[in-house]
Structures are given as structure tokens and as C-alpha cells.
Amino acid sequence: MKIKVNKHFEDIKETYLFSEIAKRVKAYQEENPDKKIIRMGIGDVTLPLPEAVVKAIKDAASEMGVKETFRGYPPEYGYDFLKEAIAEHYKEIGVDVPAASVYVSDGAKSDLGNIVDILGDNEIIIPDPVYPVYVDSNLMSGHKITLIEGNIDNGFLPLPEQIDHAVEGAVIYLCSPNNPTGAVYSYEGLKAWVDYALKTGSMIIYDSAYEAFVEEEVPHTIYEIEGAGECAIEICSFSKFAGFTGVRCGWTVIPEGLEAEEVRISKLWSRRQATKFNGVSYPVQRAAQKALSPEGKAACRANIAYYKKNASLLAVLLKSKDIKFTGGVNSPYIWLQCPKGMSSWEFFDFLLKEAQIVGTPGEGFGKSGEGFFRLTAFGTYEATKEACERLDKLL
Ligand code: MLT
């Protein structure tokens, strides 16, 4: 063929992090079929959906099978019943997010990747290490990225004061509770970013996918910070909160007042979604609505408490070994320093071969992640306990 392809794909790693891990684990399992592997790599949930949520899916599916209640294309931005339930969720946190600013989608990952469609060629500021989608999607579009280093000294919570050049009109990605480090911005830390965005005419894209894990006095949403409504969009997900990794539903909030070059950001996103996306299925949106009901929330919180018990098992083990780590309290992730100065992929191979435990090498989240390793608490209690026993012997 004589077509041109997007050359920017040469700037990203050939394989997506979790696909690379899956490939290596598959190869190991094929060579060692008798070994029992414990998977603590990708942050995928293992508990089944709450009963009430399953019932909501079934009821909605039944409605689709009856002439009078059948529905065709869903609204591109979500049914009002779900947008209102999301607005109510924000109200419970103590912030006012109108339902009209909520755009329902098939998950946070899609929105985080797709948002680049509506943005021009801005400087992109991204803390490092972080969820690889921000960097990859911007590299695919040929954008210039400034990485700001997270490290042990700043608790993996980089601040704008680390930026060493003048910035005007940048797009800043923040993720809190952070994937992969589990670190969470305090009100003060997040305020520093909001103030910085307002001062420099920048926009924050705030990924709050792990909000439901917050238990300490730290922000659940960026809109708890004064001024965020004038500079931030927020992207959230039902995946980790309600176990929807296989169901697919999330949302993006774009405050009506956000404007650049005399264009409303919400107008661009509406246009983008209407062109390239046909909405989330009715049964899934009914399920999401149920997850946000008092009954649904109680069941989701019980599941989160289960995962947190796993996280504390891991935390106790690492403390007993004097291994430095962050996370595990307001997050399902534990981010630890690789022992004996191993690189993160060396530690990955070591753990897989010696203990049949799969984790995620920190380097996969950016160069500042080198020398660190992520374990997820999303497994079963029994598997996590067994992993701790294996780690106790090995480390
Ligand atoms: C992770 O393991 O980082 C997440 O599961 C990835 C995702 O949410 O897409």
C-alpha cells in the first residue's frame, strides 16, 4: 500500500505494559504448567458484582425484550437517570456537579485516551510514574511532554514547584489516589496544582478512578478544591468502585464554564463523543445507577473493604521486611522499592521464577518508576495470604 501511517507510534513502546506482562506470564506458565501462579499484576477486580447490581442488569435486559420498554440507541452522553445519580454522588461528597456536566462513557481509560482528540498542540505535564495511558495517548498525537519526577523524597506526589521553566497554557494530568503508587494528594497539595493551573492558564485532567478507596482526610474529587471548576475536568470509573472492569462504564465531568480560545471544552467533547461514540448500553447504565444507590454503595464498600484487608496483609509483610513502600491505605495498590537494588524488570522475573508471583514493574509506569514495583490487592484473600507467605520466605 502507499498510505502513510501515524509515525508517532514509533515513539511509544511496542507493547502496552499489561499486554507485555500477560505475554511473559503466559510463556512462563507454558514452560512450567505445574506451577501455581498468583496474579497481582494488572489491577483487575476478582469479586463478583453485587447482587443488586446483577438484578438491575437482568431487569433492564428484560425491559429490552418487551416491545413497550425496548430502547434503541442510548443518548450519547448517558441517560438522565445515571447522570443524575452521578451528580447526587458528588453532592454526597459535598460538591456541586450538575448532571448536565456529566458525560457517561464505557470507562475512564477510553476517555483519558480520547480526550487528546479535542486538544491542540499544548505542552503536556505529567507526573512520573503514572498510568501509561496519559503518556502514550499524547505521544501518539505527537505532543511534547514534560515529566515531573515522583520519588521517595516527595512521597511520589510531585508539585508544580518542581517545574523548572515558564509554562503557559499546559494540559496537566493528575491521578489521585495514584496509579501506580497509591499516594494521594492532600488538600494542600491539590490546591497547589489548581492554583498553578489558574495562574498559568492551564487545564487539569484529573483521574479519580480510585476515589472510592479514600478513607483518610484527603480529597475524593478535585472539585473539593476552590477554583477547580474553572480549570479542571475529572474522569472517573465504575471499574474499581463497583467491580465494572468487565462491564464497562465511567464518566467525565466538564464544567460548563471551561473555555479556551473562545470555545467551550464541553462543546468540543460533546461533538467528539457524538461523532465517535454511541453511548453505553441501557442495562449497563441501569447497573451503574444501582451501584450508586444506598444499597449498591453499601455492597461496593464491602467489596472495597475486602480488598483493603488484602492490602494490609501486604503492608504488614513489607514493614516486617523493612521494605519501603507507599499506598495500601487509600488505594488498592502497594508500591514498593525493589530489594537488593534490583531493577523493576529483574524483580519481576525474580518474583515470577522464585515465587510464582506476578506484579507490575515500576519502569512500565515511567522512568521514575525504575527500581520500584507494584502489587495489587484486588486478588482473593486466600491468594494474597499465600503470596505473603511466599514473599516472607523469599525476601
Ligand atoms: C492497572 O492495573 O493499572 C489498571 O487495571 C489498568 C486500567 O485501569 O486500565
What pLDDT band is residue 14 in, cutting at 50, 70 and 90? confident
Is residue 195 pLDDT above 90, yes or no?
yes
Determine the Cα–Cα distance for residues 9 and 192; give it in Å rounded to an integer.
34
Cis bond before residue 361 (omega within 30° of 0): no
Q: What are the strands of the beta sheet with 372-376, ordered from one edge?
A: 325-327, 333-337, 372-376, 360-361
The pLDDT of residue 302: 98
Cα of 341 from ligand 1 centre, angstroms? 26
Q: What is the pLDDT of residues 295-327, one digit of tens each?
A: 999 999 999 999 999 999 999 999 999 999 999
Is residue 92 pLDDT above 90, yes or no?
yes
State mean pLDDT over 68-89: 97
Q: What is the pLDDT of residues 15-42, one digit of tens each?
A: 889 999 999 999 999 999 999 999 999 9
By C-alpha distance, which of 185, 201, 230, 225 is closest to 330?
A: 185
State mean pLDDT over 65-77: 97
Answer whether 143 contacts ligand 1 (Cβ < 6 A): no
Answer whether 296 contacts ligand 1 (Cβ < 6 A): no
213 close to 328: Cβ distance less than 8 angstroms: no
Answer whether 52 contacts ligand 1 (Cβ < 6 A): no
What pLDDT band is residue 107 in, cutting at 50, 70 and 90? very high
Q: Name every residue whose Cβ is closer than 8 Å to that of residue 133 and which is 6 or more positions away in sequence.
A: 109, 112, 113
Nearest protein Cα to ligand 1, atom 1: 43
The strand pairing partners of 259, in sequence order, are 264
Q: For residue 142, how many other CB atoms are within 10 A of its CB?
A: 12
Determine the Cα–Cα distance for residues 292 and 334; give it in Å rounded to an integer.
27
Ligand 1 atom closest to 18 (CA): 2
The model's pTM is 0.96
Q: What is the pLDDT of residues 217-265, one digit of tens each?
A: 999 999 999 999 999 999 999 999 999 999 999 999 999 999 999 999 9
Determine the Cα–Cα distance for residues 388 and 314; give it in Å rounded to an integer.
6
* Angle between helices 294-320 and 51-64 in degrees, nearest 10: 140
Is residue 168 pLDDT above 90, yes or no?
yes
Ligand 1 atom closest to 179 (CA): 3
The pLDDT of residue 56: 98
- Phi and psi at residue 175, to the nearest 5°: -135, 115
Average pLDDT, the chain: 97
Domains and CATH numbers, the chain: 7-49+295-394 (3.90.1150.10), 51-293 (3.40.640.10)
Q: What sign does the dihedral 171-241-71-98 (CA atoms) show?
A: negative
331 close to 93: Cβ distance less than 8 angstroms: no
Determine the Cα–Cα distance for residues 294 and 282; give it in Å rounded to an integer.
20
Q: Are strands 38-39 and 357-358 parallel, antiparallel or unpaired?
A: parallel
State mean pLDDT over 320-347: 97
